[in-house]
Amino acid sequence: MSRWQWVVRLLARRMWFRAALFCLFAVVLALAGALIGHAISYQFAARIGAKSVDHILNVLASSMLAVTTFSLTAMVSAYSAATSNITPRAVQLLIDDTTAQNALATFLGSFLFAIVGIIALSTGAYGDTGRVILYIGTIVVIVVIVVTFLRWIEHIARFGRVSDTIDRVEKAATGATGTMAQPPLFGTRASPSMPDGATMVHHEKIGRVTHIDVTALGELAEDIGVAVNVLALPGSRVDPARPVGWTATSLDDAQQRRFRNAFTLAHGRAFDQDPRFGLVVLSEIASRALSPAVNDPGTAIRVLESGTRVLSAIIEHDADDDALPDGVTLPPVTFAELLTDLYRPIARDGAAMIEVAIGLQKSLAAVAAITPAARPECRREAADAHARAQEALSSAADRTALERVYHRYWTAD
């Protein structure tokens, strides 16, 4: 995906974008009667009773303003609840929710449609036949409002709840798996071997990589005749002291600028191309649930189940060799980093809860069963979680139960 495609995709997710489109459509629909009303016969206009549109628009304007305010209040409340009770990193997924955006855009656009229609009627721009177009448009808008409102009532019942947010994070993390150019690396990543005379490219800004335009990097590699090697994957922290990549030849200022411009930076991480971020957010949800103030081990177990499915998708993902242009190399994500992102905080905060400790061992065993290559890293993470829990558990019976589960899955190694 090129940089401009990425920008357009982000623009389409903005809450105001859908609202602006629907408002524009509403204004065009409201004014259509004044432009094409002459095509309707007077007898037809009198027969369908288009003169009643004045009262309908007044009702629509007053009710839609209230419904829009209510919907916006409900959305803000859901964002605040997610920030306080789940994790602030998950709020962006709620903001990007298409059902909520469509509801707000529909209600706001309907209000604007009614206002424009009332203003146009007061100026006499429609005439008797032009009212027919406005009348039909009003009926269409009412049908859209009813359908949207019914969907919104069903949707808002679970919007922003813990289970709903976990599902959203899991879906985002699983979707980001499809952008991985390489499968995860089992074992330790070797340090890159850079020849003498290699040029390290540093970014001038400080932030997190949210998108890499590999097409632009491929064009740069073709122009300079050597491979372009990326060091900073999406989600990585970038600053002037950390290189984003390197090449085996010298680059002039313009070429280094092209290299840097291929990286889109933001103040925070994004889900789209960063599956590790999804795992981090899942672990944050579990840690919040395991805090003494919440004390909800069931949510932590639910997170472990979601994280297991995400790791399974990452392991089983078939990387597309054609996804990268010729001359562009990206480092793989190490599997040990993925396990640490998800399990380490849960093992730390849930060490004193036997149900969480056992659930963690079962989750790691399930991941290890997918491929033999994953078992060494899973065993190390399981041993760490086991040691933490044995130290934190106060009941001898709980320690014995955990020991039995641990040996069931890992004594064969």
**pTM exceeds 0.75, yes or no:** yes
Mean pLDDT (whole number) for 31-60: 63
Chain-centroid distance of CA 8 in Å reads 16
The letter for the amino acid at 222 is E
| Distance between first and last Cα of the chain | 43
Percent of all residues in the chain with a pLDDT value above 70, rounded to a whole number: 89
Is the CB of residue 386 less than 8 Å from the CB of residue 408? no
In eight-state DSSP terms, residue 191 is P
**Poorest-pLDDT segment among 37-41, 84-88, 316-320:** 37-41
Q: Which residue in 212, 249, 195, 240 sits closest to 331, CA to CA?
A: 212
The letter for the amino acid at 266 is A
Pairing of strands 328-329, 228-230: parallel
pLDDT tens digit sequence for 380-402: 999 999 999 999 999 999 999 99
Mean pLDDT (whole number) for 299-317: 93
pLDDT band with cut points at 50, 70 and 90 for residue 129: low
Q: Who wins on pLDDT, 265 or 137?
A: 265
pLDDT band with cut points at 50, 70 and 90 for residue 321: low
The mean pLDDT of the chain is: 85
Distance in angstroms (rounded) separating the CA atoms of residues 89 and 320 = 29
pLDDT tens digit sequence for 293-303: 888 999 999 99
- Range of 37-51, 126-140, 286-300 with top mean pLDDT: 286-300
- For residue 207, the surrounding DSSP H or E stretch is strand 207-212
For 97, phi and psi rounded to 5 degrees? Answer: -60, 125
Q: Which residue in 150, 144, 146, 123 sits closest to 29, CA to CA?
A: 144
Is the CB of residue 243 less than 8 Å from the CB of residue 204? no
Mean pLDDT (whole number) for 43-52: 53
pLDDT tens digit sequence for 285-294: 999 999 988 8
pLDDT score recorded for residue 302: 96
In the predicted model, is pLDDT for residue 403 greater than 70? yes
Distance in angstroms (rounded) separating the CA atoms of residues 404 and 392 = 17
- Classify domain 199-266 by CATH number: 3.90.1170.30
In the predicted model, is pLDDT for residue 127 greater than 80? no
Distance in angstroms (rounded) separating the CA atoms of residues 73 and 278 = 27
pLDDT score recorded for residue 33: 60
pLDDT score recorded for residue 405: 93
pLDDT tens digit sequence for 147-188: 999 999 888 888 889 999 999 999 999 998 888 878 888 877
pLDDT score recorded for residue 404: 94
pLDDT tens digit sequence for 196-254: 778 889 988 899 998 888 888 988 988 888 888 898 889 889 999 888 998 988 888 88
Residue ranges of the domains in the chain?
A: 3-160, 199-266, 275-321+330-410
Looking from the CA of 172 toward its CB, the CA atoms found within 13 Å total 27
In the predicted model, is pLDDT for residue 45 greater than 60? no
Ramachandran region, residue 346 (left: φ > 0; alpha: ψ -120 to 50; beta: rest):
alpha
Mean pLDDT (whole number) for 1-23: 73
Task: For residue 245, list its beta bridge partners.
Answer: 201, 230
Distance in angstroms (rounded) separating the CA atoms of residues 165 and 90 = 7
